[in-house]
Amino acid sequence: MFENLSERLSGVFDRLTKQGALSEDDVKTALREVRVALLEADVSLPVARDFIARVQEKATGQAVTKSVTPGQQVVKIVHDALVATLTGDEDPGKLKIDNPPAPMLMVGLQGGGKTTTTAKLAKRLKERDGKRVLMASLDIYRPAAMEQLAVLGAQIGVDTLPIVAGQKPVDIARRAKQQATMGGYDVYMLDTAGRLQIDEVLMQEVADVAAVTSPRETLLVVDGLTGQVAVEVAQEFDAKIGISGVVLTRMDSDGRGGAALSMRAVTGKPIRFVGLGEKMDALETFEPERIAGRILGMGDIVALVEKA
């Protein structure tokens, strides 16, 4: 699938060999292929459309560097626009966890990687920032969900809230807050059950948890392989709970990660971390350049134009 894209674009480059300024037609021809590349990378359709329109405007009339083709020049412009969109205003790795105990809420669809990411982040906070962290599972639905977080906590040496059977998520959250306050923790992390953004009962449940704890960070954990639905998921979670950032998991896959662009474009919320595996240290701070190169799958050309 990767080869196809390169082939397709190099076909375009062959056709566009005139030098000088980029004509509207040059840009249009190249952008048609870029649009397909974005869609194949799972960028949501409306986001891809807006993005292409913006680049079209920006690129038309731009001078072409002598040693590259117009097509290559367009790819570079697209790449830069991708980076610009993906880049937030602040340092993505810096969480707002002053005022101990700072609550952090982890939310998302089923199976996205919330529990794993909760533990990875706890480990990072403990080891990098020297924080005392308490983790609590509010997942009363999925079999052995609480046990899963407890096992991970033991693995990384981070405390988990003792499990009390029969408690509602809001009550567990209250208990976590109390224990975090009394126990002198810097941060308490609330791992929640996976839920569909259209499930009104469960969305209300997590909104209630947010109301009771006023999280300093509410992170939406999303599978990096997510397709067109990413926009809707991010919008709904943001509208109903209010998110402060996104974590993109499973970026150790060969997926292109177009969901990153979709979510960033529609919510304006920063992508903070990427998950790069199942191990507890497989978490990195989000780097816009890397994801941009991956979405486009044209890193080599970008480097070429940068050198020219």
Question: Which residues of the chain form contacts with another protein (CB under 8 A)?
Answer: 1, 36, 39-42, 44-45, 109-113, 141-145, 147-148, 150-152, 155, 196-198, 223, 225-229, 232-233, 250, 252-256, 258-259, 278
CA distances (Å), origin 100, targets 105, 131, 156, 169, 180 = 15, 10, 21, 22, 9
| Omega within 30 of 0 (cis) for the link into 46 | no
Three-class SS state of 193: coil
Which residue's structure tokens are 């076909």? 11
Coil/strand/helix, residue 259: helix
- Residues 277-296 close enough to bind ligand GTP by CB under 6 A: 277-278, 282
* Residue number, 125 or 221, with CB nearest to Mg ion: 221
111 binds ligand GTP (CB under 6 A): yes
**Nearer to ligand GTP among residue 248 and residue 296 (C-beta):** 248
Structural tokens at position 91: 């340092």
Which residue in the set 92, 101, 194, 245 belongs to the binding site for ligand GTP (CB under 6 A)? 194
For ligand GTP, give the closer residue by CB, 191 or 238.
191
Query: Residue 29, SS3?
Result: helix
Residue 5 and residue 301 in contact, taking contact as beta carbons nearer than 8 Å: no
> Rounded to whole angstroms, how far apart are CA atoms 149 and 106?
13
**Per-residue binding letters, 140-179, with ligand GTP (x by CB under 6 A):** --x--x----------------------------------
110/214 with CB nearer ligand GTP = 110
Q: Is the peptide bond before 215 cis (omega within 30 degrees of 0)?
A: no
62, amino acid identity:
Q
Task: Work out which of 255, 275, 293, 297 binds ligand GTP, going by CB under 6 A.
Answer: 275
Cα→Cα distances 216→91, 94, 96, 97, 242, Å? 16, 12, 6, 6, 11
Q: Which is nearer to another protein, 144 or 164 (CB)?
A: 144
Place of tokens 């300093």: 216
**Rule CB under 6 A: which residues touch ligand GTP?**
108, 110-116, 139, 142, 145, 193-194, 196, 249-250, 252, 275-278, 282
**Rule CB under 5 A: which residues touch Mg ion?**
114-115
